[in-house]
Amino acid sequence: MDSRQHYILQRIIELNCFKEGKFTLKNGSESNYYINLRNLIREPEVIKVICELIYDKINFLSWKDFVICGLPYAGIPYAQGYSILYNTPSVFLRKEQKKHGMNNMIDGLEGLDKKKVLLIDDVITSGSSIQESLVHFEKAKLEVIGTIVIMDRRIENTGLIENVNSLFKLEDLLQYNSYRKANLLQETQLLSSKTEESRKSYGERVGLSNNKMFNFLLNLMEEKKSNLAVSLDYTSLKQIYKILSVIGEHIVIVKLHMDIIEDFDMDLCSQIVKLSKDLKFVIFEDRKFSEIGSIFQKQYQGGMYRISEWANLVNFHLISGDSNIQLFDKIYNPKDQAGLLVAQMSNKGNLFSKDYTNQVIEIGKRFASVCGFISQEKIAGDGFLYLTPGIGIAKEGDALDQQYKSPQQALIVDGTDIIIVGRNITQSKSVVKSTLLYKELGWSSYLLSLRR
Ligand code: BMP
């Protein structure tokens, strides 16, 4: 299931379109579930995503050269949405025959050169509405090539109606519902197994450090209701710009690796800086400086990338000691720049030890330019930010050394502040939907961690 399907099932539940209990259905039978998708049409984004899923289904089925028709009334918004989005002619089936004029049952037929019609409905329970409509299309000499419904809740497929395809089956919804409940249960269990005190909210921590970026990010997270940093590890800066212009409003940080970019261009960098101001996010260059001081200065301020001119955040490995951060402390712009120290890593086999991490924390405390740590846990007090990479819900790792943990684990159990998500967003079917999903998971986990 991709993130768009996930999103629709999530909205079905959140918009109260699905209820559990004892219900009598239209055909008189008893059911433990009630499904009424009418509330979905309140959300244009939901209609749009449903139309995208219908489009994928139609492509998969290779249906072509049809007019589209929504069954009255529930199918109409989707058929019209589809017609507009995918430039497909539509006809309109009435619920009752017109009592004047041409006594039409179907509008839009005059001069129509298409011979086939595709029907759209929201839910199929027995198939009676589809069956009742067939006679009207027969009269209009339109061949019904098939029907697409959002939800198939038939207990059994009697085979009476041909070519009914659904975006979801009742089992999908039930499965998602139990996954959601289990997730909530897991969160609650994780929470109650946690012995530490509850965390302070982001807002309550403002002022605990004099570092401006620390305070800016805490305020920004509260304002955007987002603790999501996205790692856009693409090799094209143009693509990064394009994606950021769509998801920038939902994130607080974009993390980059400029040295993997193949179309680097300082002008484009300036445009990304402008975007970061307009959409309010911070640019983090994940350069992990670890050189002798003089080389660090050239890497930061010079070379092709001139990182100091566009990056708000940069990070350091302290394997070479504190010389880089000493220098950074003198040359950074405290107004909108700060440093992060790599105190722990997410990948298998890394050489970080407890002792090393403690030494990194001690160095961090000595420099005003340090606003936080790259870490897998909250490793020091509330006066630093903790940014956690290696976040994902679907897989435990990649084919190499990366290891993933869930946003719940990072924010509720391990007490960190910002989740950094890379390929679980960039390589998903819909970058926007996955961004929204991780934003929601990150924020709801943070809220849960406050409740103790
Ligand atoms: P992904 O979510 O696609 O696995 O990407 C993780 C990103 O975070 C990469 O850009 C990687 O360089 C970075 N990262 C990491 O994975 N683990 C660390 O401990 C530190 C990192 O900077």
Closest residue by Cα to residue 117 from 134, 132, 103:
134
Residue whose CA is at the smallest distance from ligand 1 atom 20: 345
pLDDT reported for residue 160: 67
| Residue 315, ligand 1, Cβ within 6 A | no
**pLDDT reading at 196 higher than 60:** no
Close Cβ partners of 125 (under 8 Å, ≥ 6 residues apart)? 25, 26, 27, 153, 154
Grade residue 429 by pLDDT with cuts at 50, 70 and 90: confident
Q: Percent helix, strand, coil in the chain (nearest 5)?
A: 45, 20, 35
Question: Cis ω on the peptide bond leading into residue 73 (within 30° of 0)?
Answer: yes
- Residue 203 pLDDT exceeds 60: yes
* Residue 386: both structure tokens together: 């903790």
Decide if pLDDT at 193 tops 90. no
Instruction: Indicate whether 222 pLDDT > 80.
Output: yes
Lowest mean pLDDT among 206-215, 308-317, 391-400, 425-434: 391-400
Which are the contacts of 25, defined by CB distance < 8 A and separation ≥ 6? 31, 125
Assign 157 a pLDDT band (cuts: 50, 70, 90).
low
Q: Which of 228, 230, 231 to mutate to test the pocket of ligand 1 (most atoms within 8 A of CB)?
A: 231
Provide φ and ψ at 379, rounded to 5°: -105, -10
Q: What is the pTM for the complete model shown?
A: 0.68
- Three-state SS for 426? helix
pLDDT digits (tens, 9 = 90+) for 238-263: 999 999 999 999 999 999 999 999 99
pLDDT at 187: 67
- C-beta of 421 in contact with ligand 1 (< 6 A): yes
Residue 341 has pLDDT above 80, yes or no: yes
| Ligand 1 site, residue 423, Cβ cutoff 6 A | yes
The pLDDT score that the predictor gives to residue 90 is 97
Q: In whole numbers, what is the pLDDT of the chain averaged over residues?
A: 92
Q: What pLDDT is stored for residue 338 in this prediction?
A: 98
pLDDT at 96: 83
SS3 per-residue string spanning 201-270? CHHHHCCCCCCHHHHHHHHHHHHHCCCEEEECCCCCHHHHHHHHHHHHHHCCEEEECHHHCCCCCHHHHH
14 vs 204, higher pLDDT:
204
**Residue 183 pLDDT:** 74
With CA atoms as reference, report the closest residue to 441 among 413, 410, 415: 410
Strand, helix or coil for residue 403: strand
Q: Which of 254, 259, 346 to mutate to test the pocket of ligand 1 (most atoms within 8 A of CB)?
A: 346
Over range 94-121, report the average pLDDT.
86
Is 233 touching ligand 1 by the criterion CB < 6 Å? yes
Q: What is the pLDDT of residues 271-323, one digit of tens each?
A: 999 999 999 999 999 999 999 999 999 999 999 999 999 999 999 999 999 99
Mean pLDDT comparison of 104-108, 386-390, 426-430, highest-scoring range: 386-390
Q: For residue 338, report the distance from its CA to the centre of ligand 1, in Å.
A: 19
Residue 104: its pLDDT value, please?
79
What is the rounded average pLDDT of the residues 230-245? 98
Distance 204 CA to ligand 1 centre (A): 29
State residue 179's pLDDT score. Answer: 78
Q: State if residue 67 touches ligand 1 by the CB under 6 angstroms criterion.
A: no
Half-sphere exposure of 63 (CA within 13 A, CB side): 24
Q: Active site includes 378?
A: no
422 CA from centroid of ligand 1 (Å): 7
401-419, pLDDT tens digit by residue?
999 999 999 999 999 999 9
Residue 40: pLDDT over 80: yes
